[in-house]
Structure 1
Amino acid sequence: MRASAPNPDGGPAQAAAGGDEKPQRTFTPDFLTELFRNPLDPGYADAAARKARGDGPTGARKRMLSGISALTLVALGFLLVVAYRQTVADEPARTQARDELIGQVQSRRSGTSELQARADRLRGEVADLREQQLGGAAVARMQELEAETGLAAVRGSGARVTVGDGPTPIDPVTGVRSSDARVRDTDLQRATNALWAAGAEAIAINGQRLTATSTIRQAGEAILVDFRPVTTPYQIVAIGPDELAADFRKGAGGQFFKALNSRYGMSYDVAPVGDVTLEAATEPIFRQASPSTPPPAKSQSPKITTSPSEGGR
């Protein structure tokens, strides 16, 4: 029996004539070998081959695609024109409604001013009649109490604190205006409380005199002092000791507004004032009262104790 010679492909040679044939050994290339052998995706390869053969879209197909694109642009343009015409048509109605609201606000404001002037005039007449009926000492004491409570005009020296809104940047993504740099009612409350603590005897915000029953509240974007709107810049004028401005600047209130100025760009200034007059406040509206004489003693009633009934909680 003859020996078989090695096969150049790595498998054994066939046996002698008339002997059994052995299968040849084949090797499948691994993934990396196939990747380096065919680096291009078959789909890209087919597309490149079609482009090389000139099998792209025909002229009729190109014209059809161009027509569809033109129709789409015309439709979009038509919709934009309709939306613009609708906006322009609705603008007069919105402007008219806005003008009517502004007119109503101005009318109500002027009516309120007239009523306030009438109330001040009547109050002056009452004061004149009171001085005629009372003695000099009683009138002087009453005037002193009115000055302390804010019901009479006062004049003197003190400090002026001025704060104003800072810049209001717009978010480029959402388009919302930032309100971080706007003066809020709590800021004015903090300023007035700091002035009271520093020894202020009378305070007014933009001419509105504060009393023990005054309120500083936020209404939307407006600030109301005793239900009257005040706008930026806000001037808080206080009458008190000569060092009132310096004490406010060094105190917690001054440091707070200084931090707002450096962080949000809000305007802030405090300066002493030599001679300033604060007008009287409006008559307060009292909502509670207590009798000047003690109430009569209540009769003692016997205590009644109850016990839960059977079956109850």
Structure 2
Amino acid sequence: MNAGRGPERKYAPDFLTELFQNPLDPGYSDAAASRRAGRGPTGWRRSSIRVVTLVTLVALGFLLALAYRQTIEGEPGRSQARAGLVAQIKQRESETDQLARRADELRGDVNRQRDAALSGSDAARLRDLEAATGLGRVRGDGVAVRVADGPSEPDAVTGVAGTNLGKVLDRDLQDIANALWSAGAEAVSINGQRLTATSTIRAAGGAILVDFRPVTGPYEVSAIGPSQLERKFRNSGAAALLRQVAAEHGMSFDVRGADDLTLPAASEPQLRYAVPSVSPSAPGSPVPSGTGPSNSPASPGAGKSLSPSGGGR
């Protein structure tokens, strides 16, 4: 005994020394000891696990084979339906083109009869107004802008065509048309479709529609205007953006001057206006239901005969 001294100190073993002496976690040691002692899953348990695994694999294989067979059997029907839809679309497009040609012929007959009924100055003024509004065919010098989709690069791993950043979008055609109008164009058409103040350029699925009629690439935007039209368009922001897309993503973009362009007439718009059903009533008398003034935007000028004036268009 050590008289006058406190209890003897006990030092814990060093952590690093303990780690090197017992590198395995106690839980793993117990599991290994259990396997060595034969306390693992019994034979019937191992057999049950194997049977369940086998049944699961067989069921998955059966389901995959069934799905593949149904896909193969349904492919001819889908192909036939797709082919039928394509044939119907082509037939409707052919009928639409025939009706458009017939409408042009009838419009020409109406114009000739109208010119014969009007005096020379009135007929000339009407033709000028039609040309300005897009309802008459025009001819002159201008510029032609041609754009086409860039090549589609397939994915390096899957081989499937990815997103084509060089594809022509509906807003590209909108930007080109707006830039041409801003540069002084007097008439613009896209693939032979004349643009007017009410024309629309939009996308529907994978197609671009101009006035609800599909147009396909390459797209050619033709414009008639003054001699500086080409220079102003080349210096526009829309042309600079398309040149950048063409350089980076392979879109085809070309601008050239064109002589003696002929742009067709646009289809006549469907005008909607209101007509009063009764004559105006005397002050203070009740107004019959449904015959009062309309609050719709088309009501101003309803029932009036409009004639050309010296004011703006």
Same topology, TM > 0.5: yes
Consecutive unaligned residues of structure 1, counting only runs of 5 or more, are 5-11, 16-21, 302-313
2:12 is paired with a residue of what secondary structure? coil
Structure 2 CA distance for aligned equivalents of residues 67 and 267 of structure 1 = 62
Selected match of 1:232 from 194, 199, 217: 217
Structure 1 SS opposite 2:150: coil
Q: What displacement does 1:229 show?
A: 0.8
Question: 1 CA distance for matches of 2:121 and 2:253?
Answer: 44
CA distance, structure 2, for counterparts of residue 110 and residue 190 of structure 1: 30
The one-letter code matched in structure 2 to 1:268 is F
**TM-score scaled to structure 1, two decimals?**
0.72
Say if 2:123 is the partner of 1:114.
no
Query: How far does residue 47 in structure 1 lie from its aligned partner after superposition?
Result: 7.0
The 5 Å alignment of 1:1-313 reads: 26-42=10-26, 44=28, 73-167=57-151, 177-178=162-163, 180-288=165-273
Identity of aligned residues (%): 53
* C-alpha distance in structure 2 between counterparts of 1:55 and 1:213, whole Å: 85
TM-score by length of 2: 0.72
Question: In structure 2, what residue type is equivalent to 1:39?
Answer: P
SS at match of 1:126: helix
Please state whether the residue corresponding to 1:260 is helix, strand or coil: helix
| Alpha-carbon shift at residue 126 of structure 1 (Å) | 1.1
2:145 is paired with a residue of what secondary structure?
A: strand
Tell me, in whole angstroms, the C-alpha distance in 2 between the residues paired with 1:268 and 1:280.
26
| Worse-matched range after superposition: 129-138 or 112-121 | 129-138
What SS does structure 2 have at the residue aligned with 1:39?
A: coil
Aligned partner of 1:86: which letter? Q
Gaps of 5+ in 2: 286-313
Provide the alpha-carbon RMSD of the alignment.
4.1
1:197-223 deviation digits (Å, cap 9, x = unpaired) = 111111110110112222222223222
Letter in 2 for 1:78: F
Distance 1:190 1:290 in 2: 39
Q: Structure 2 counterpart of 1:274, which letter?
A: D
Count of matched residue pairs? 279
Say if 2:152 and 2:161, in contact at 8 Å, map to a contact too.
Answer: no
Rg larger in structure = 1
Distance 2:274 2:153 in 1: 49
Deviates more, 1:57-66 or 1:39-48: 57-66
How far, CA to CA, are the matches of 2:53 and 2:38 in structure 1? 24
Q: Which amino acid in structure 1 is aligned with residue 99 of structure 2?
A: L
